[in-house]
Structure 1
């Protein structure tokens, strides 16, 4: 592999990994399920990789990637058009446009929440995250915590409130609303 190719691959990976959560969230808002979003994201990643050499400015990567994600989502939805859960194109266009506009705010919220989660003691953070794992049985997490199921739900509610307040304070301190 040539030096130029290596530098281009590294640049792509750096930009893609930095923006992948936002792109995935954007796609997730446009399709019915997480699995659908994962399917669309595979196509998005491939198109971004193939077309990366044609991208002009690295500082426009996110905007460019959202455009690619929008078109890949439209193509995926057209393939699934027989499914009654598919949105009409004009509705999808509206959702995609609004999603792109609010992405900066949502990204700031995600970062603030991640920071608040990191400040939790390890045991608490592990339990909170375990409660939101796919296909998790809350009874198993409650048992892991040493609490009854009702007590665990109460504890989880208090943790959600604590994380929400922390996130709001963080956003307010950063001047993001």
Structure 2
């Protein structure tokens, strides 16, 4: 891979939280998430939040609440699907609409991106659809994605299984410094 242009990062279970919905006003990132974002910034690699948040469509939060949260965390941009799973949109992961929107908006080649997330059946499938590097984090739903839910994405193999977001970013940066 040539130079990594951007990293898409899932929210719940990857940046912080439990994998379940937590309103932005109550959400706490993991202690290492800020460091991971800073490492990307130092290398001029864009960091994009990429999250499904169907509670927006239920009126339990606003897109702006999430967007403001991601900007406060230091992301370059945020791509948020507000729809429920039955609405048939193109932006809800595992569909790659959010990634394509980001590529168009920021002039990013999706084959030069990575996706870090904790859910195989959404994050890894979305990454696979656009040819991005797939990194599954063991935080959040990561363990169960590799075990009891592995059948939901069994035709896809992550490029790396990371302990957490910081491990994922460190692995990516190591790949950048020492390409095969």
Work out which of the two has the higher radius of gyration on C-alpha atoms and give 1 or 2.
1
| Greater RCO, CA 8 A, separation 6+ | 2
TM-score range, shorter chain: under 0.3
TM norm structure 2: 0.25
More helix as a share of residues: 1
TM norm structure 1: 0.25
More strand as a share of residues: 2
